[in-house]
Structure 1
């Protein structure tokens, strides 16, 4: 049985601003924390080259193309088990508490929640939008990669040395780890490489031909009813923690022991 803390104050938009210096060479970044303990980092608007044209390229990462991304906010870490348990408690979604959920979420409340489908993530987001204001969503695939790269050209999200920033099959010991225990990237985001694969809003496309260039989620002309994942996980080799890597999930109902999610939040038009 999962024991959950009492849900209190979540209907109040009580946010704490935390100003942090992230990374030795990175800029100052504003981070916000709500009453659920979810931290968001302000991601500035900008342009970047999405995809890959280097020697380590896979077809799904091509063609490399320029994307212009509006400002938004990104979860500093993946959604944790503790945060997801509050959603289950508040909504009485006990159907989510399967044997697999209990088995694969045994590493503490600060570990990323797994055994959650794309549909489960959307249910969590719908609840969060009700209790803590609007704008919560999954990041688009373009936003995800833009935030991962953080204005840099590293192979992985924040470093060329994967062991500094990622939990993967070479150092994980065979399970996920508490969020935020590897070094962040230049914008203060942890575990963008490794720990657990992360759902994005987009449906799956086999490559970037005709992809949008405005940072929005690509939800048209999908390859079947599949969804995409980004970032790699504790179960996969370091190859899959590269900034450009893309992974196909299957259907929106798929649950897996190495798949979780991270939140994004849209800014009001006047704040962009």
Structure 2
């Protein structure tokens, strides 16, 4: 994991033509998406773990936190609540994700798309091992393309209920979906073949065991 500096980011939703600014505290984020090897605890597959629901991702964050002697970030009951003071693994917020993806840049992407991302134009319509494309300025790989990342946030509760935010684009997406500001949504129980996640922690850095 790497430490992401504090900052501010402006989020925007093209569907509603709304934008809003969010202050982001320093936090830590995984250099790569969670791999199949880490997610399953078996084998050494370097592919991102995909077909993972939001609920699966939350449960995994808690299991890994316990395994590493950290305080779980989530309480899972009829609904999921987050303890921001916990030092365990969690999903990034949408604002944290976009701030980290941009890494100080202001354009739609942090580099040439073919150099930084697997998308429909170069993926052969299949997922690829993590880290195969150039990282952004803060050392994060695959922030765009390869697999979408789940975020903590609810997308729009008034319209879509409990649907959660997805960011980053995937291997089957056209170039216009692989941009720092693109938002997608899905039900937290759905497992989709181009959707995975990456780990965050509040205010700390360090290796994942």
How many residue pairs were aligned? 186
TM-score, normalising length: structure 1: 0.65
Matched, 1:68 2:23: yes
SS where residue 177 of structure 2 aligns?
Answer: helix
What aligned pairs does 1:1-272 form with structure 2 within 5 A after superposition? 40-51=1-12, 58-59=14-15, 62-86=17-41, 109-132=45-68, 133-134=70-71, 135-156=88-109, 158-159=110-111, 161-205=112-156, 223-249=160-186, 251-267=187-203
Q: CA 1:76 to 1:253, structure 2 compared with 1: closer, same or farther past 3 Å?
A: same
TM-score, normalising length: structure 2: 0.84
Ranges of 4+ aligned residues in structure 1 off by more than 2 Å: 48-52, 62-66, 220-223
SS where residue 73 of structure 1 aligns?
Answer: strand
Distance in 1, matches of 2:123 and 2:89, equals 30
Deviation of the 1:221 alpha carbon? 5.7
Deviation of the 1:50 alpha carbon? 2.5
SS where residue 200 of structure 1 aligns?
Answer: strand
Q: Which runs of 5+ in 2 are unaligned?
A: 72-87, 205-209
Deviation of the 1:51 alpha carbon? 2.5
CA contact (8 A) 2:128 2:146 kept: yes
Deviation of the 1:252 alpha carbon? 1.1
Q: CA 1:222 to 1:203, structure 2 compared with 1: closer, same or farther past 3 Å?
A: farther
CA contact (8 A) 1:48 1:151 kept: no
Deviation of the 1:48 alpha carbon? 2.6
Distance in 2, matches of 1:43 and 1:122, equals 21
SS where residue 64 of structure 1 aligns?
Answer: strand
RMSD (Å) for aligned C-alpha atoms = 1.7
Summarize deviations over 1:101-154 as a string: whole Å, max 9, x none.
Answer: xxxxxxx70010111111111111110110112321000001001101111113
Deviation of the 1:222 alpha carbon? 7.0
